[in-house]
Amino acid sequence: MKIGVFSADRRMELLCERLKKEVEVIAIEENDSMSCLKLIAAQLDALIFPPWGIDDSGFVRMKSRGIYVLEMMGYLKKSCVIFSGQDHPLLRQYNHRVRCWLDDEDIVVKNAELTALGVLGKLISIAERSLKEVVVDVIGTGRCAKACADLFERLNVSYRFVSRQPGPSMIDYSQWVKSNPNDIIINTAPVCM
């Protein structure tokens, strides 16, 4: 089995390394030529896009530039399975089977839990005092924010949610901007705030 992986960031590089233990992996780099991409495409049994998938113009955002992939996709075998974090109609125009892992609730929940553990590891490495002595502002209220909050509750770490949607145990984002933030800020919002 041959799998093509868009080596767009460190996570995708790690995925390449792990997959190489089981199957043949072809890392797709941002400087690969279209003729190279067409040759690669013809060999693939699966193609893995980064979590953000492709944009409306048919480009995959890589480390410093985009790669136009629609032409390449025309050379994929009919049996090639496409994996992407985000779905997009352009992924389906060649009638390949498309699997979008961010549509799988189990994967999204597990990712949120792993993100919370990563956040905890970072907090431990940067905190200058005990986590029981700090207060954390968690921007956002999605799965990652809730996973962080669940972990903080189990560890007795004080936190509050910061959101544009008011609710219990939350401070409104506009109020938060005008006030003093807490010791540590974690931004889980899907947009820049």
Q: What is the separation, in whole angstroms, between the first and last Cα of the chain?
A: 42
What's the full length of the chain, in residues?
A: 193
Q: Is 183 left (phi over 0), alpha (psi -120 to 50) or beta?
A: alpha
Query: In this predicted structure, what is the pLDDT of residue 191?
Result: 64
- To 10 degrees, what angle do helices 143-154 and 105-126 make? 50
Q: How many CB atoms lie within 10 A of CB 159?
A: 20
Query: In this predicted structure, what is the pLDDT of residue 193?
Result: 55
pLDDT mean values, one per 10 residues, the chain (193 residues) = 95 94 96 94 96 94 94 94 94 93 90 93 89 90 93 93 81 86 86 59
For residue 139, the SS3 value is strand
DSSP secondary structure code for residue 16 in this structure:
H
Query: In this predicted structure, what is the pLDDT of residue 85?
Result: 92
The helix (run of H) or strand (run of E) holding residue 25 is: strand 24-28
How is 30-86 classified by DSSP, letter by letter? TT--HHHHHHHHHH-SEEE--TT---TTSEEE-SSSEEE-HHHHTTS-TT-EEEESS
